[in-house]
Structures are given as C-alpha cells and as structure tokens.
Structure 1
Amino acid sequence: MTEPMLALAGVTKAYGAVAALAGVDLDVPRGDLVAVLGPSGCGKTTLLRCVAGFERVDSGTVRVAGRQVADGHAHLPPHRRRVAVVPQDGALFPHLSVADNVGYGLDRAERRGGRVEEVLDLVGLSGYGARMPHQLSGGQQQRVAVARALAPRPPLVLLDEPFSALDAQLRAELRADVRQALRADGATAVLVTHDQAEALSMADAVAVMDAGRIVQHGAPAEVYRDPATPWVARFVGDAVLLPATVDADGAVTPLGRLPLRGRAVGGAATVLIRPEQLRLAPAGGSAATVVRQAFHGHDALTTLRLADGTLLTARTLDEGAALPAGAQVGVTVRGSVRAYAGAD
C-alpha cells in the first residue's frame, strides 16, 4: 500500500486548559485534496498550523511524504518541511511583480526554466507576470498565491480558507479553477474551511472536525448522505431530524412509516431526512400547513407545520406559483432515511 502524503496519528495540542486538538488521526493520500471542515473554534486552524510547523504538537506524530516532521519531542521547523501554505488574504509581496512573487521560492535555474509561466497558466493568469499585486483583483491575487505555493512542487499544499474574503460568484469560479490547477499539477492538498459547499464541491474526501477531533472522514457524498451523528447531519447541509420508532419494517415517524438505509438501530430513534427528499403536493401524504416560503431562484425553502406541531423544511425546485402562508399541502418522502439510536 502506498504511504499517504500526510499522516497524523494521535495528535494533541493544548493551550493551557483548552484542548485544541484531542487525538487527531488523519491520512491524506498522494494526489488527493482533503477538506477539513468544521465550525469556528473546532481546531481546524490549529491542525493546519501543526502540519505546517508553526505550532509544536504536544503528542502524536506528523509525517509528510514518509518523513516524520513532528512528535511530542522533535519538531522540524517550517522551512525544512517543504509544506506550502496559501493563507486567507494571499499575503503577496506588494513590491514584487506577479512573476517575482511566484518565483520567490525557486532557484535561478527553476525561474529560467519556465516554471513561473507554467503555474501562472495553470491558475489562469498567463501573461500577468509583469503586473504588480495592486493591479489585480482579489480573486486574481488568490490565484497568484496558489501559483506561488505550487511553483516549488511541494509535497503538500495547505489552503487556509483561501476564498473566504471573495463574493459568492467569484468564490464558486475560483474554487473550480484552483481544484483543476491542483489536479493538473498532481498536487496533494489540505483545505481548511467552515464552508460546507466549498468542502463538498472541491474535495476528494471530507474530514469533519468538532471539539478537536475528527468525527467523520469519508467521500463528500458519503458524509452528506450518511452522516455519522445528528450533529454532523446538521453541520453538513440542512437537516430535518424527526423522532421515530424503528422496527424490522422501517421507521415510524410523524411523516408515516419510512424505509431505512443501513443497519436498523431498533426502538426509539431519530431519523434524518434531507430537505430535498420532501415532496409537496395539493393532496396525499401527511397533511401540513405552510408557515413561510423563501425563494432562492434555483429553488425554494418551504417551512411547514404538521398537525402535531412538528416543523420541517422542504427544498423544492421552482415549479410555478409560490405557496402562501397558511396553504394546506401534502408531504411525502422520497427515498430512504438514516436512523440514529435514541432521541436527539
């Protein structure tokens, strides 16, 4: 089996009484992009800083490209790890041209060998080498930062929420272009983010963090469709969580009996339904009253109240007339649901 480009085993880091990392295990295969996804304060930035060498780990090991770079005693400094970091703001040198920024970490032979032009072309900035950073837009500056990280062909690239300061449309465009550039260059990368759409759309695998631990690690579709806990379900996308009783034939819920996927838990449970699984019709299914509807262009989110007072949200494509508050509809569920033991 090929050794992963990045391997963390039992990594801990505390600041006084606060445990920022509480035994993190994570493998990043060569050539993959893994997104570390979590809320503010979960430890994901500390994890990135420990991998880069900006922080010392208290215990556990960090290995990059097969070489151990940190444990509870030894600590290889950042400049000897050959790990590139793309920060949130790009952090370009304002007095250097785009080409000089990109070539900053290269020796003279590499700069003359065309590597600068190669990576600028990868990030869509061919011909921009003579420009200064202040002549670029925010998105272009981030592209230069990615090109600078790729230029010396590091074994590992760390992306620290690099799109957070950009507007929504530019974020989506830049995410796709950066992912393509990383893949074209054969780079291995770790993306640290709190943006679920960013993680799910860019990554080969997603590692969800909470309170200093990796609570789930898997393919984006797996993490979204089969979250390990109700907390992960809520954090990774919108979630409808309903009380249920599980038996051999499925789950009895406020929306009727629903088929289960995966192993049945038995007895009192909580079931997960994604809002896009809910179907609304004038009649049929469980009766519900429309509380409000929010139109988003490509879809609409409709908040509903069932007869027993349960609130839930359905995501539907725009199929014509809006549903006014107070309208009566029928609700059905498409597909199977995920069950968790016990009440949430």
Structure 2
Amino acid sequence: MTERMLALTGVTKAYGQVPALAGIDLDVSRGDLLAVLGPSGCGKTTLLRCVAGFERVDSGRIDVAGRQVAGARGHVPPHRRRVAVVPQDGALFPHLSVADNVGYGLDRAERRGGRIEEVLTLVGLDGYGGRMPHQLSGGQQQRVAVARALAPRPPLVLLDEPFSALDAQLRGELRADVRQALRADGATAVLVTHDQGEALSMADAVAVLDAGRIVQCGAPAEVYRDPATPWVARFVGDAVLLPATVDADVAVTPLGRLPLRGPAADGPVTVLIRPEQLRLAPTGGSVATVVRQAFHGHDALTTLRLADGTLLTARTLDEGGALPAGAQVGVTVRGPVRAYAGPV
C-alpha cells in the first residue's frame, strides 16, 4: 500500500468574513509531486502556508508523514514539522556561500558526510559550493534553494511558484531539472502555481483550486482531456465550447455529428473541443472563414468564424504557411468530445 506523506482532511481557513479554504481534502503519496493549480486569490498560497505551519487552520486536520501537525491535537509550529519551503525568490543568505546555504539545516555529521555535495550535484551545481549567492544567476539561485530544501531529507517539500521570476526558456529548463532532482532524491513535493503548463508538465497529479475549493484532482492527462467542469476546461488550456444536442450517444454540433467521450443524457449540452482537435483543410468538413492567425513558432492559433457566427480557435502546425484573414477553409474534428449538461 502506498504511504501517504501528506493528508488534508476538511481543512478550512478564513480571514475575517472572507473564506480562503472551504473544506480541502487532499492526499499526496510518498515520492509524488502534486501541483496545486488555480488563479490568483483562489487559496493556493493559504493552503501552502497552512501545510507549512505559517497559518493556523480554522477546522480540519493536516497530517505529514503520518503525524498530525494541525487539528484537534493542536498546532505544531513550522520548525517542528520538518517541512521544507522553496519560496519564489529563493531567499538565500547573502553572507553565506552556496555550500553553507545548503548545509544550514544540517548537523555537523551530515555536513561532513557529503550530503551538501550530493544535493548540489542533483540540482546541476556540482563544484559551486564555494561561490557566493551574488555570483549566481537567478536560475542558479533557485537551484541552490531547492538543494537547501532537499538537504535534510524532509518528508515534504513545498514549492511556492519557484520559477515565476525567471524568463520562459530558463523556466522550462529549470522545471525539468528540479523535477528530476526531486525524483532522484525520492522527495515528496507540493508545487503551488498558476501556470497550467508548469503543472501539467511537472506533476504526478494536479489539484485545481477555485474560490477555496478543489474542483478537480487527477492525473495531468485526465484533468486536461476530461475536465470536470467548463470552468476547469477554460482554465486548464485553451477551450472551444459549443452548444450541442445529444442524440443516441452522438453530439449534434455546428461542426456536425461528433462522438462523445463518455455517456451523456439526451438533450441540450455544451461540448468541449480542444483547439488541437480541429483540423483545417482547403475542402471538406464545415466551411469557416479565417478571422486572424497568431504564429507562435512551433504552432499557430487560428481564429475562425462559422456561417452562423460561431467563433472557433484551431491550433495547427505551420505546415502550409499563413492563412490570410478572409480565407475559406474546411474544419473537421479529430477524436471524441466532452459534453456538459445544459448551456454554459
């Protein structure tokens, strides 16, 4: 049986009359990385601060490595929870070397035992122990912060949007390296982020938070391909939502009769189509007019208008060159679509 390293049960937290967490239930297994994903103000940071012990919960309980740290038995202070936090800015001690920063929470035996060098190698900074923080780039400072969190082998590592201040290319490289380091060290982690790509690419599971409630929790592919609600569909990636009617397990839509992913009751529904499901061709399918096209290098997003005025967004590879505004194309849909009861 998989060991639970973090368990939240019915956790609530409010600031005055404003609820921040409204009954949170979450489990994180040993060695997994859970991404808590949501918009600004949804309660992500409050959740992290409650797990770390910086905030007291109003009700419910939190267990770390099988030990209750918040709940009916009282509030265990942060320094006694053995939970490591990697903040947004790294928060290194400027007067200490890289090695001394990493070894700050270790006893003398652990310092001499090679743990500092081990975790620096894990984060790609082998040989950097003698440098000072001001001699490092922003990305390197974040790697040191991760190494410092891993050094004492805590049961849980909390990552508070640690890549948000970095440029896009560096952010992508660091995500992959940090995920590899966490996995290599067998660490259990919770990543708090508002970046959908970050959550989907790094996590073993994604918990989508909205207004202090978890609206869906599952594997990244599940959350993306089968979002629980239209709101989740819009938040986790680009979404095309169309009115439709279910007829004998098929959705009748402005783009024709489309197969459904999962059962749906007959009658009015809203269907979800991801932009990459739309295929454009000179002929065939439903006729649409190109409104505009945004080129992103690896792909292009094309906004289209059907004859009834319905707007669509298609994501395509740049195979046939740019499509000018006003051009007529045929649109077809690849794969099944997700249906939600009633109009959105």
- TM beyond 0.5: yes
Deviations, residues 71-92 of structure 1 (Å, cap 9, x unaligned) = 1561000000000000000000
Whether contact under 8 Å (2:207, 2:218) holds in the other structure is: yes
- 2:263 is aligned to 263
Match for residue 310 of structure 1? 310
Task: Tell whether the 8 Å contact from 1:58 to 1:72 is kept in structure 2 after alignment.
Answer: no
Q: Tell me which residue corresponds to 1:9.
A: 9
Q: Mark the runs of 5 or more structure 2 residues left unpaired by the alignment.
A: none
Residue-pair matches, total: 344
- Find the aligned partners of 1:72 and 1:200 in 2 and give their Cα distance: 35
Large movers: runs of 4+ above 6 Å: none
**CA offsets, 1:300-344, max 9 Å, x none?**
000000000000100000003210000000100000000000100
Are the equivalent residues in 1 in contact too, given 2:102–2:147 (CA < 8 A)? yes
Asked whether the equivalents of residues 248 and 264 of structure 1 are also in contact (C-alpha less than 8 Å), the reply is no
Residues 84-130 of structure 1: per-residue CA shift (max 9 Å, x gap): 00000000000000000000000001001000000000000000000
- The Cα of 1:266 is off from its aligned counterpart by 2.3
For 1:172, the equivalent position in structure 2 comes to 172
Secondary structure in structure 1 of the residue aligned to 2:319: coil
The TM-score normalised by the length of structure 2 is 0.99
Kept after mapping to 1: 8 A contact 2:249/2:264: no
d(CA) in 2 for partners of 1:3, 1:75: 23
Q: How do 1:132-171 residues align onto structure 2 when only pairs under 5 Å count?
A: 132-171=132-171
**Contact persistence 1:57–1:72 (CA under 8 A):** no
Q: CA deviation at 1:249?
A: 3.5
Map 1:217-256 to 2 at 5 A.
217-256=217-256
CA RMSD of aligned residues (A): 0.7
Cα distance in 2 for partners of 1:65, 1:230 equals 35
Residues 1:108 and 2:108 aligned together:
yes
User: Offset at 1:265?
Assistant: 3.1
Alpha-carbon distance in 2 for matches of 1:72, 1:267:
48
8 Å Cα contact 2:249/2:263 also seen in 1? no
Kindly provide the CA deviation profile for residues 248-298 of structure 1, in whole angstroms up to 9, marking residues without a partner as x: 140001101100011213211000000000000111100100000000000
Amino acid at match of 1:292: R
In the alignment, residue 182 of structure 2 is paired with which amino acid? L
- Counterparts of 2:266 and 2:178 in 1: how far apart (Å)? 45
Contact 1:260 1:337 survives alignment (8 Å): yes
1:121-145 Cα shifts (integer Å, max 9, x gaps): 0000000000000000000000000
Q: What does residue 319 of structure 2 align with? A: 319
Letter in 2 for 1:84: A
1:168–1:193 Cα change, 3 Å: same
What is the percent sequence identity of the aligned residues? Answer: 90
TM-score by length of 1: 0.99
Could you report, residue by residue, the CA deviation over 1:206-241 in whole angstroms, capped at 9, with x for unpaired residues?
000000011100000000000000000000000000
Q: What letter matches 1:112 in structure 2? A: R
Could you say if the C-alpha distance between residues 341 and 103 of structure 1 is closer, same or farther in structure 2, counting changes exceeding 3 Å?
A: same
- SS, match of residue 145 in structure 2: helix
Provide Cα deviations, 1:8-50, integer angstroms capped at 9, x if missing partner.
0000000011100000000000000000000000001000000
CA distance in 1, matches of 2:225, 2:314: 16
| Letter in structure 2 aligned against 1:265 | A
| 1:259-338 alignment, distance < 5 Å | 259-338=259-338
2:195 maps to what in 1? 195
